Amino acid sequence: MSAMAAQLKVIPGGRSSPMQQKGDDIMDVAVNTPVKTFIQVAEIWVPEGETLVHGGGSYGELAAFEEASRRESFAKGEGLPGKAWAEARPVVLKGFDGSYFKRIEVATEAGLTSAVAVPVFAGKTLKAVLVVLCGDDENRTGAIEVWKEAEGLLMLDDGYYGAAKHFEWVSQHTHFPAGQGLPGGVWASETPILMRDLGSGYRFIRADSAGKAGLTTGLGVPIPVPGAAPYVLTLLSARGTPIARRFELWDARAAKVGKSGGAALVDGICAREGALWDPENAGKERRAEAWQGSIGKVLGSGLPVVESGKPGLAAGYGSMVALPLYHGTELSHIVAWYV
Amino acid sequence: MTEKLVVIGAGMASGRMLENLFELAPDAFDVTLFNAEPRGNYNRIMLSPVLSGEKSYEEIVTHDAAWYERHGVTCRFGERVTAIDRERKVVIAPNGEVPYDKLVLGTGSSAFIIPCPGHDLPGVVAFRDLEDTTAMLEASGAPGSKAVVIGGGLLGLEAAAALRLRGMEVTVLHLAGHLMERQLDESAGYLLQKDLEKRGITVLTRASTKAIQGEGKVEKVVLEDGTVLEADIVVMAVGIRPAVSVAADAGLEMGRAVKVDAQMRTSDPAIFAVGECVEFEGNLFGLVAPLYDQAKVLAKTLTGEADSFTPKELSTKLKVTGCDLFSAGDFAEGEGREDIVFRDPARGIYKRLVIEGDKLVGAVMYGDTADSNWFFGLIKDGTDVEEMRETLIFGPAFQGGAAVDPMAAVAALPADAEICGCNGVCKGQIVAAIEGGASSLADIKASTKASASCGTCTGLVEQVMAVTLGDGFEIPAAQNVCGCTDLSHEDVRRLIKAKELKSQPAVWQELGWTTPNGCHVCRPAINFYLLADWPLDYQDDPQSRFVNERNHANIQKDGTYSVMPRMWGGMTDANELRAIADAADKYGAAVKVTGGQRIDLLGVKKEDLPGIWYDLNEAGMVSGHAYSKGLRTVKTCVGSDWCRFGTQDSTGLGIKLEKKLWGSWTPHKVKLAVSGCPRNCAEATCKDVGIICVDSGYQVGVGGAAGMDVKETERLVDVKTEEEAIEWTTAFIQLYRENAKYLDRPYKWVAKVGLDWVKETLADPAERTALNERFEISQSVYRKDPWADHARPEKAKSFQLVADLTQEAAE
Interface of B with A in 386-405 (CB under 8 A): 395-397
B667/B670 Cα distance (integer angstroms): 9
Q: Is A196 on the interface with B (CB under 8 A)?
A: yes
Whether residue A20 has pLDDT greater than 50? no
Amino acid occupying residue A222? P
B729/B658 Cα distance (integer angstroms): 11
Cβ distance B64 to A185 less than 8 Å, yes or no, reads: no
DSSP code per residue over B358-384: TEEEEEEEES--TTHHHHHHHHHHT-B
Cβ distance A14 to B65 less than 8 Å, yes or no, reads: yes
User: Residue B413: its pLDDT value, please?
Assistant: 73
Sign of the dihedral through C-alpha A73, A75, A79, A84: positive
Averaged over successive runs of 10 residues, the pLDDT of chain B (811 residues) comes to 94 96 95 96 92 91 96 96 97 96 96 94 94 88 88 94 92 95 92 95 95 96 95 94 96 96 97 97 90 96 96 83 87 85 88 92 91 89 88 77 55 76 81 84 83 70 79 68 88 89 94 91 96 94 88 88 93 94 94 92 92 92 92 92 90 96 95 95 95 95 93 96 97 96 94 91 96 96 87 66 37 29
B680/B686 Cα distance (integer angstroms): 10
Q: Helix, strand, coil proportions of chain A in percent (round to 5)?
A: 20, 40, 40
- For B519, counting Cβ atoms within 10 Å of its Cβ (0-12 exposed, 13-18 middle, 19+ buried), the class is middle
Q: Is B199 on the interface with A (CB under 8 A)?
A: yes
- pTM of the predicted model over 0.90: no
Cβ distance A255 to B369 less than 8 Å, yes or no, reads: yes
Residue of chain A nearest B136, judged by CA positions: A203
User: Residue B803: its pLDDT value, please?
Assistant: 38
Q: Is A318 on the interface with B (CB under 8 A)?
A: no
User: Residue B471: its pLDDT value, please?
Assistant: 66
B64/A45 Cα distance (integer angstroms): 46
Interface of A with B in 4-33 (CB under 8 A): 4-5, 7-8, 10-16, 18, 26-28
Q: How many residues does chain B have?
A: 811
Whether residue A34 has pLDDT greater than 60? no
Residue of chain A nearest B202, judged by CA positions: A179
Domains of chain B in start order, with CATH, are: 3-109+242-302 (3.50.50.60), 124-238 (3.50.50.60), 324-404 (3.30.390.30), 411-539 (1.10.10.1100), 547-623 (3.90.480.10), 631-782 (3.30.413.10)
Q: Is the complex ipTM higher than 0.90? A: no
User: Residue A28: its pLDDT value, please?
Assistant: 47
Cβ distance B59 to A269 less than 8 Å, yes or no, reads: yes
CA B248-B252-B253 angle, 5° bins: 100
Residues in a beta bridge with B719? B698
Nearest to B136 by CA among B146, B41, B109, B144: B146
Nearest to B732 by CA among B640, B676, B661, B790: B661
Q: Is B66 on the interface with A (CB under 8 A)?
A: yes
B102, B17 Cβ separation under 8 angstroms: no
Topology given in CATH for the domain delimited by A140-243: Beta-Lactamase (3.30.450)
Distance of residue B808 Cα from the nearest chain A Cα, in angstroms:
37
Distance from CA of residue A131 to its chain's centroid?
Answer: 11
CATH number belonging to domain A22-35+244-339: 3.30.450.40
Domain made up of A39-137: CATH architecture: 2-Layer Sandwich (3.30)
A142, A243 Cβ separation under 8 angstroms: yes
Residues of A in contact with B199 (CB under 8 A): 178-179, 185, 188-189
Cβ distance B373 to A283 less than 8 Å, yes or no, reads: yes
Distance of residue A108 Cα from the nearest chain B Cα, in angstroms:
38
Whether residue A231 has pLDDT greater than 50? yes
CA B366-A255-A327 angle, 5° bins: 110
| pLDDT (average), residues A74-92 | 96
Residues of B in contact with A15 (CB under 8 A): 64, 66
B445/B429 Cα distance (integer angstroms): 12
Whether residue A206 has pLDDT greater than 80? no
| Ranges assigned E (strand) in B429-531 | 480-482, 485-488
Tally A–B CB contacts below 8 A. 146
Cβ distance A26 to B395 less than 8 Å, yes or no, reads: no
User: Any idea of the CA torsion for B136, B141, B147, B149, to the nearest 10 degrees?
Assistant: 20
| Span(s) in chain A for CATH 3.30.450.40 | 22-35+244-339, 39-137, 140-243
Residue of chain B nearest A175, judged by CA positions: B167
